Structure 1
Amino acid sequence: MNYGRENLSKKKKDMTGSKVGKKVGLTVVKAVLICLLVLIVAGGCAGYGIVKGLIDSAPDISNMNVAPTASATYIYDQTGNPIQKLTEPTSNRTLVKIADIPLDLQHAVVAIEDERFYQHNGIDIRGIIRAGLIGVTSGHFSEGASTITQQLLKNNVFTDWVTETNLIEKFKRKFQEQYLAVKLEESMTKEQILEDYLNTINLGAGAYGVQAAAHRYFNKDVSELTLSESTVLAGISQNPTAYNPILYPSNNADRRKVVLEKMVEQEYITQEQMDEALADDVYSRIQKTDSETEQTSVYTYYVDALIDQVMDDLQTELGYSYLQAYKALYSGGLKVYSAQDDAIQQICDEEFANPANYPSFVQTGLDYALSIQQKDGEVLSYDTNDLLTYFQENGEPDFNLLFDDDDTARAYAQQYKQSVLKSGDTVLTERVSLIPQPQASVVIMDQSTGFVKAIVGGRGRKEASLTLNRATSTRRQPGSTFKIVSTYAPAIDSAGMTLATVFDDEPYAYTTGVEVKNWDSYNQYKGMTTIRDAITNSVNVVAVKCLTQITPRLGFDYAEKFGISTLYDDVNLDVRQPLALGGITDGVVNKELTAAFATIANKGQYNKPKFYTKIEDVDGNTLIDNSPVSTTVIKDTTAFLLTSAMQDVVTRGTASGINLGEMAVAGKTGTTDDYRNIWFVGYTPYYTCGIWGGYDNNDELPEGDIYHTYSKVLWNSIMTRIHAELPAMQFEVPANIVKTTVCRKSGKLAIPGVCSNDPRGSQAYEEYFVSGTEPTESCDLHVAVSVCSKTGLLATSTCPSFNKICIKRPAGSEGTTEDSNYAPPYQTCPGHTVIEQIDDLLGGDKEKESESETEAPQEGEAPPDQNGGGENPGDPGENGQNGEDGGVPPENGGGDAGQEVPQQ
């Protein structure tokens, strides 16, 4: 060994260096460890911060309802049975309690979706590990590990998960979902979670939740589902499109078998139960239900009208915006109680479908829509007006969309389609609707409440929801029905007139100079006419004279009080003389005109026509109470007097074909120029019914009684059946109504032996009056004149004579009327010689007697120069007369609806 100084010094140096190296190395290690510790602490703090941030930013579910919030609205009938479901595509669900969901369905969903649902605390750790291992080994992380609790949160709390664009967003949502799942299970039972989940899930075909799906696929309540049917639904939720049992029954069958196997494996059912379920031909029932559902999915006209009214009321009464009202109606789970009477509606539907109630020759109307995509991608749309214009501009100027048969209509539609299609174009949609013509609509109201009991918006099959409703939206000219609303109601109610007030039915013109014609212009003017007779026989001249006297402004104001909302407050449009005859700019809708007459039937109290009684929210709280709220339009005495006059319309006037036996009926006919519109609006002590008829294109109806009267035929057919089992009733007479015998020509007290001996028959009759308004003066138009039986001139002392009852026309009377024929002679007989007198005494007694009998008619007989007697020569027979409103020329508002009306 070398112990020299040099060697010792070197060794010492080496040892010192080694110690220093070790010390440095230890320091480095310590530093590294410290750094690692710092990183770990920092990472932990950061991780804690991240986790805390994720937790803090998670939705607060402490006061949040995780149950589905969007659910279907149901319309219920008067007995509380659901008759129509209203939904948005994602809100077609009906909430049910877990107790109403079969255990087989609960177990089927748990077995296939979350087999450890009843054991885990919201997160299935075993499921997560299993999904991770499968992902690592297969390279595909497609195995699901979400629990039912997580899926409930995903669907009802994290509703925007479909918009996640990256892994960070997905991780954040997944972490919060798992965290909240644990929290949720601390506050809710498994049954509550499962209930919400089963009410939430998308089960295809637009059905959300098990109740909606049960009805969609099996047309039954969820509580009635069998094991076989339950497993069909349980198999859908993983992929609602691919496993849709209507579109892809084989896919669903494969999935359903897996569900059953899982249920056997987890001991929810036995193998025998599985085999029995697999043997069930469940898919044939589904296809049958789907076919029936498609046929009944179109809303009725009544539901259409109800939806429109609910939408309006949610906005006007609750202050909703249009979008809020729409969301509430289609996804708010509302309960709307309809005012419809099923029995009355069925009668209306059946009578509208009965060909016997219409003209035998039925034409076809065409409604057309076409949408095409051109080669460059532009989409073009065409409709009925485009088709109409095309043919009118290409050789058929009289083309009017009316055809003698369906095949011809289809051929025109095909020809038009070919005219607009170009090479490379693709037809996206095409609709050819064939509509029977002429058309009709009906509205039936309970006048005491305003509730609409039934409507039909058109004859023929209804092919779509929320389409043209002729009962509630189509505006047509009302004709003479409007005389009651605009003229005679205000005249009697506030202008001091009575049913005995007389006007001279004589040649007359509007202030514009246009002549006012009566509908029966082939007969002469009747002369002095009471308001009662003017209503009974629909005399146009009297109506216009009456409105002129009370002023069109008063008539307009009353029409609006009666609920007519389609008028224009303008002296150049509707505040003018043609208003008396229904000559208005835009016409009226049946619903409003019927409500106006219902006001008269309801003793002058107006009720807005209503299609529902109340609306409740999803919890049963009343949102809108639609109970009747009446407003006074006319006095009850005015209503009774109008009713009495309109009873005459039915018994001896223009609606004499109407007959309900012993039941009291009052009403008014109405037609417009060339019979483009025919109306009958009438009522009983029970119901008010309005019928409109005409062509959709406003063409004139052909000649023939059935074309001009089928509105009355429909009315009588419907109302006869409605009242068949109802006790006959008469209209109630107010206490302060009195009767007085008056003269039909003067409206004053009748003079016995004078007014009663009018050559046309007695003109004395009993009239109703409000006490205190009856006349006090005697008739001053009838006069008894001594007339020579030889010459018919005023008799002298030498003439054989008799007393003749004549009419003195009032000063200022114009033209020739029926009364003109009964004016007193204006010349005096020159007298007779003594020889003529002696001859009469000796041999002319019998001849004189014969002449006297001929020339001096007795009470009720016709004069020798008249063709028959009766109080109303030319009155309609049992089938009535029509076209009574032809006196409104188009240029005065009585023509086509929507036509421009020139200034007065």
Structure 2
Amino acid sequence: MHFDMRIRKRKHLITRWAFLIAALCPLLLLIGFVGLLLSAKIAGPMDIPAARPAVFYDHSGQFIGKWDTTNKEWIDSDKMAPSIKLATLAIEDRRFFRHHGFDIRRIAQSIFIDMRSLSKAQGASTITMQYAKNVFLTNEKTWLRKFSEMFYTVRLEMNESKKDILEGYLNTIYYGHGAYGIEAAAQIYFNKNAQDLSLAESSMLAGIPNGPGLYSPFLNYNQAKNRQKVVLNAMVKAGYLTKKRAEIAYRSPLQLAHRKKTETAEKAPYFQDAVRHELTDQLHFSRKELASGGLKVYTTLDNETQATAEFWVKHTIPDKSKLQTALIALDPKTGGVVAMVGGRDYQNSPYNRATNAKRAPGSAFKPFLYYAALRNGFTPATRLKSTPTAFTFDDGRASYAPNNFGGYYANKPITMEQALALSDNVFAVKTHLAIGMQKLVAAAHQAGITSALAPIPSLALGSKPVSVLELARGYATFANQGARVKPALITKVTDAKGHILYEFKPSKNQVLNRQTSFVLSQMMTGIFDRRLNGYTHVTGSQVSGWLTHKIAAKTGSTSTDSWMAGFTPDLVATVWVGYDQGETISTYPDTGYAKTIWSHFMETALEGKPKNTFKPPKGVVRVSVDPKSGLRASKGCPGRTTYFVKGTEPTAYCGRPKSKPEQKQKKPRSLLDRLFHWWK
């Protein structure tokens, strides 16, 4: 009885507190909102930051560029074509003049749609919110940043007119190709002033800020036209246009400006773009700090190495070719990127293929497979038969039949060392299935590949796309004997007075076996060694004569991509060559450009360095092995120096017949032996 009474009292007390809290919540929210309004009003108008852009330096302290490289000009709203203002309002914030910074109706619709689709596809940012974020805040996704965005939004709305807010937004929004603001965008895309833009041009430009890399008419004209149609339809829905006028504007021809080349090319433009992204997206510096704080940004770039990369790209691929390329070079000891080429011409295409594009690496992915194999019972001398084979997997429900390049096969057993040098696909898939397909996925991810991979037979042949930077990071792990590093572009950021705001501290994480990584690296030097020629030539034979340093490397190719990647303990470089739209690479010169760029770049960049900087760790032995049989070399079988994890090296010799047991040549017995035998 008493127990039931206590329970009822406790429930009653909990109910009262819940009711009290529920009643106080609206009051607390109201008090908080009023406090926000008062704080914003007391803070007064916001100062647009004066231009003191962050300055960029290379690793030796030489000036290479700055945060803002555009010739942007702040123009009055009256000097903007009415069509660009209407198009922007229609696609970005149709109720701009009816809300006070936050569109409650749009927020509610966004929440409803997101809950129904179980995603976060809908956005509800107003023009005021975007303006506050772009100018004064970082891209960091934290509650503090969201609160700051609310504060600045209210402050703008309370102290600025709607006309001034729209003017500020249109003068600071990014339109791609280095254009901040509508005046710069009008000049770059149409070679005219913002006040002279037509409806067709305005509707095209208004759609770009949602995705400058996706909707730029210079890069993706068809997608840009589709986006223009979305903008025009939004203008019709808002009541700014009739359907007929929108249709005429959509069908009106657009005269895009010819891309102008600057008289003095910017140093390492793709690298500098990547630095800008790292500053905002990873280090969370605000655009206000970067545009007006007088910051100094010290980077990992090596000017000489960068110049070497750009030289060989320019002098290898013919000017008239539509092929594109990307190159990443980094210091494996620190992860610092020392050179970056994201395309053949930044002026024509600022899209960074070194960091943003993902393509299938082909056989350049095989080193991750053979590392996994070395950890699971294979050695460089393990032999498997190279012959056309159809593999079954998934409990016999699926099959896969890989082909060797050119249709050539050994039709007999070859060693794993030779299979890597010749890039034998059948050997690779056999190995992949023998050790278990998940082993390759695990090894690649441990080494630093972050893209999604799948345990399928074709993964052994590099069927899943990765970025150039990812592959370089994975190879750097092998160069470090299994220690993984994080690629970095920035070493230090200081304020105008020299106070350190950020400092990079390199770190290594031992993720792979040291001895196995070294053995693999020495296997990878075999692509340049003609002693490993077999049913075909080693894949690096065309460029081996240009190299004087000992380098571990691997080639890779698909029908649409050509790769070359490799390393010494001091330098890693990865090169990709192909077409942006995935066209087939059909001719020999096209397939050889990646090898040419890579080999010349490495040899030039390593000039003056020791010819061989590989040093075997403890637990590794060196053995002279016959490349064909995988046995120890002898007088009749010349060998090649091969490294093994201690205890896994072959013990039998090539060319020596096995002696039969208990058939050793008998020595003549002495007189004493014969007497003893007779007595017995």
* Contact 1:71/1:87 (8 A) holds in 2: no
Q: 1:437 to 1:87 in 2, by over 3 A?
A: closer
User: 1:682 corresponds to which letter in structure 2?
Assistant: G
Paired residue for 1:770? 645
TM-score by length of 2: 0.57
Instruction: Measure the CA separation in 2 of the matches of 1:544 and 1:730.
Output: 32
Distance, in Å, in 2 between the alignment partners of 1:80 and 1:598 is 25
Checking the alignment, whether the CA contact within 8 Å between 2:549 and 2:603 is kept in structure 1 is no
Aligned to 1:642: 520
After superposition, residues 535-554 of structure 1 pair within 5 angstroms as 535-554=420-439
Amino acid of the residue matched to residue 482 of structure 2?
G
Q: State the partner residue of 1:559.
A: 444
470-479 vs 329-338, which moves further: 329-338
Q: Which whole-Å CA distance do the structure 2 matches of 1:670 and 1:729 have between them?
A: 24
Q: Does 1:616 align with 2:497?
A: no
Mapped pair 1:353 → 2:314: yes
Selected match of 2:410 from 525, 532, 548:
525
Change in CA separation of 1:708 and 1:782 when aligned onto 2, cut-off 3 Å: farther
Alpha-carbon separation, structure 2, partners of 1:543 and 1:488: 8
2-side partners of 1:57 and 1:778: how far apart? Answer: 85
Give the Cα–Cα distance (whole angstroms) in 2 for the partners of residues 556 and 599 of structure 1: 15
Instruction: For 1:296 and 1:347, locate their aligned partners in 2 and report how far apart those are by CA, in whole Å.
Output: 15
Query: For residues 643 and 266 of structure 2, what CA distance do their matches in structure 1 show?
Result: 53
Residue 399 of structure 2 aligns with which residue? Answer: 513
Q: Which segments of 5 or more consecutive residues in structure 1 lack a partner in the other structure?
A: 1-55, 94-157, 166-201, 207-290, 316-323, 364-435, 569-573, 757-761, 785-904
Give the secondary-structure state (helix, strand or coil) at the position aligned to 2:431: helix
Structure 1 83/89 Cα, relative in aligned 2: closer, same or farther at 3 Å?
closer
Q: For the residues of structure 1 that align with 2:468 and 2:611, how far apart are their CA atoms?
A: 27
Q: Separation in 2 of the partners of 1:545 and 1:528?
A: 12
- Tell me, in whole angstroms, the C-alpha distance in 2 between the residues paired with 1:672 and 1:660: 25
Shift of 1:685: 4.0
CA apart distance, 1:351: 2.1
Write out per-residue CA displacement over residues 330-363 of structure 1, whole angstroms, 9 at most, x where no aligned residue. 4444332111011111122222222xx23x5x65
Alpha carbons of structure 1 residues 614 and 783: separation in structure 2 relative to 1, 3 Å: same
For residues 350 and 297 of structure 1, the distance between their equivalents in structure 2, rounded to whole angstroms, comes to: 15
Question: What are the equivalent positions in structure 2 for 1:365-380 lying under 5 Å apart?
Answer: none
1:472 maps to: 355
Shift of residue 310 of structure 1?
Answer: 2.5
Q: Which residue is 1:719 aligned to?
A: 602
* 3-state secondary structure, aligned to 1:79: coil
Identity of aligned residues (%): 30
Q: Partners in 1 of 2:578 and 2:40 — Cα distance?
A: 66
Q: How far apart, in 1, do the equivalents of 2:416 and 2:301 lie?
A: 37
**For 2:273, what is the secondary structure of its paired residue?**
helix
What's the counterpart of residue 73 of structure 1? 54
Return the alpha-carbon distance in structure 2 between the equivalents of residues 294 and 778 of structure 1.
Answer: 66
Unaligned runs of 5+ in 2: 1-38, 75-154, 163-167, 173-259, 393-397, 531-537, 660-680
1:84 matched residue in structure 2: 65
Q: 1:66 & 1:651 partners in 2: Cα distance?
A: 65
Q: CA deviation at 1:543?
A: 0.9
CA deviations over 1:640-668 (Å, ceiling 9, x no partner):
21221121112322112134554222211
| Partners of 1:506 and 1:781 in 2: CA distance | 28
> Which of 345, 357, 363 is the aligned partner of 1:460?
345
Distance (whole Å) between structure 2 residues aligned to residue 742 and residue 82 of structure 1: 52
Max Rg structure: 1
Residue 448 of structure 1 and its aligned partner are, at CA, apart by 1.4
> 1:482 Cα shift?
0.3
* CA distance in structure 2 between the partners assigned to 1:577 and 1:60 by the alignment: 63
Change in CA separation of 1:582 and 1:67 when aligned onto 2, cut-off 3 Å: closer
Deviations 1:786-806 (A, max 9, x none): xxxxxxxxxxxxxxxxxxxxx
Query: How far did residue 748 of structure 1 move?
Result: 5.0
TM-score of the two chains, using structure 1 as the length reference = 0.44
Distance in 2 of aligned mates of 1:661 and 1:515: 35
Residue pair 1:745, 1:781 contacting (<8 A) in 2 also: no
Q: For residues 650 and 740 of structure 1, do their structure 2 counterparts lie closer, same or farther at Cα, with a shift above 3 Å needed? A: closer
* C-alpha contact (below 8 Å) 2:447/2:512 kept by paired residues: no
The aligned counterpart of 1:378 is none
1:513 aligned counterpart, secondary structure: strand
Residue 497 (structure 1) aligned with residue 458 (structure 2): no
1:476-521 C-alpha deviation (Å, 9 max, x unpaired): 1101110002x101222x2132211222223322323232211142
Question: Does the alignment pair 1:588 with 2:466?
Answer: yes
Task: Give distance in 2, aligned partners of 1:350 and 1:767.
Answer: 36
Say if 1:71 and 1:92, in contact at 8 Å, map to a contact too: no
Question: For the Cα contact (< 8 Å) 1:75–1:82, is it kept in 2?
Answer: yes
Which residue, 270, 274, 290 being the options, matches 1:301?
270
SS in structure 2 opposite 1:507? coil
Residues 509 and 515 in structure 1, CA contact (< 8 A), matched pair in contact too = yes
Aligned pairs, number = 436
1:89 to partner: Cα distance: 9.5
CA–CA distance in structure 1, aligned partners of residues 489 and 473 of structure 2: 13
The C-alpha deviation readout for 1:798-856, integer Å capped at 9, x for no partner, is xxxxxxxxxxxxxxxxxxxxxxxxxxxxxxxxxxxxxxxxxxxxxxxxxxxxxxxxxxx
Q: By how many angstroms is 1:772 displaced?
A: 2.1
Q: Deviations over 1:239-270 (max 9, x none)?
A: xxxxxxxxxxxxxxxxxxxxxxxxxxxxxxxx
Q: Aligned ranges for residues 222-233 of structure 1 at < 5 Å?
A: none
**TM-superposed deviation, 1:88:** 10
Which letter does structure 2 place at the counterpart of 1:438? L
Match for 1:579 among 442, 447, 459?
A: 459
Map 1:69-148 to 2 at 5 A: 71-87=52-68
User: Which fold has the larger relative contact order, with Cα–Cα distance below 8 Å and residues 6 or more apart in sequence?
Assistant: 2
Change (3 A) 1:729 1:743: closer
Task: Name the structure 2 match of 1:700.
Answer: 584
Task: Report the CA distance shift for 1:614/1:504 in structure 2 as closer, same or farther (over 3 A).
Answer: same
Conservation of the 8 A alpha-carbon contact between 1:748 and 1:776: yes
Q: 1-side partners of 2:632 and 2:600: how far apart? A: 41
Deviation track 1:19-38 (CA, whole Å, cap 9, x = no partner) reads: xxxxxxxxxxxxxxxxxxxx
Tell me, what secondary structure is at the counterpart of 1:83? strand
